[in-house]
Structure 1
Amino acid sequence: MPHHARRLIVFLTPLLLLAACGSDQQHTARLLNRRMQARLADDIAAGRAAVQPRPDGTRITFLDASSAPGGPAVSDPHEGSLRASMVEGLLDPTLMRVAVTDTSTLPDDQRAARIKNLTDFFQTYGLGQMLLPNPPQRPMPLGAATPMPPGLTVTIALQCPRRPGIGYGSGAREPACD
């Protein structure tokens, strides 16, 4: 093999591996976005929800106050179908981190109750390990330019392992983005 061909291979191999790793997360993010768009299609069409693709996941905003009640957590997963549809659209929970914020113009206590209700919903159905600590909540100023409309917002970020498919030592495969 000519010397310049070996140099080219040595130079390009790390770049190709890096590109392959990045594309796994991007592919998984696109899959997550497609699933959310499909699961929430009726709610999006009715103006109850908005979905915004992100490079590392997706952002869902509950636009209708009745879709994100501030009362006690719903005990029936089929009640409050917007939340149930969102959960059904999720991928492997070990690959995702979820942040819940409320940028609506509701009073502070109502925004806090809506956030608690949704985080309790995640906890009740065994998805609490996905939740990130809640940042301080501030309403969006009236007339402020935002990429998403104000409301109860769920940001889902993918956290893909660096080395997909490597065993834990017990022979079990580590969760991976595809």
Structure 2
Amino acid sequence: MYRARVIGWSRAVPCRGDRGEGSAQCEFLAYQRESVVAIVAGLDDAALRTAVLPSGWTPLGLIEHLGDAERHWLQDVFAGARPGGPDASGFAFYREQCRISDGIIAGATLDTAPVGRHHDEPLASQTTDLRRILLHLIEETARHAGHLDAARELLDGRTGLGPR
């Protein structure tokens, strides 16, 4: 089974009672999470806070955005909770949000409908159960991994970072 090394996950956390599709989704999510952190591993603080993409995102800003995405999709939308502000920032914030997300995922089935709702269409209508929320979170994490790949190459020329 896939082992996440960079940010401390020892396994992908499958949905309750699932050994197929949910396990695969959780494995891919864990892989994408590891990838985003591996891509920026070794950058100093100045590089992490340097915007090199036309969008203005910094590598650290993207990591924090991914923490916000984990919190929004699994705590706010899926669980219907309204979490307060973060107690941490940067990598610690991202790691904590992923840990909380894993607990939520482990306690649900893929067919479970969200308690809350995303505020914008058409995404609100597309995320009607945990399955679709996980697919969106995998997609969003992978998209930003690509942004981080480009940023890393522009910062120090390194490419091909991450577990694969």
TM-score (normalizing by structure 2): 0.32
1 or 2, which has the higher helix percentage?
A: 2
Bigger RCO (CA 8 Å, 6+ sep): 2
Query: If you compute each CA radius of gyration, which structure gives the higher value, 1 or 2?
Result: 1
Q: Which TM-score applies when normalising by structure 1? A: 0.30
More strand, by proportion: 1
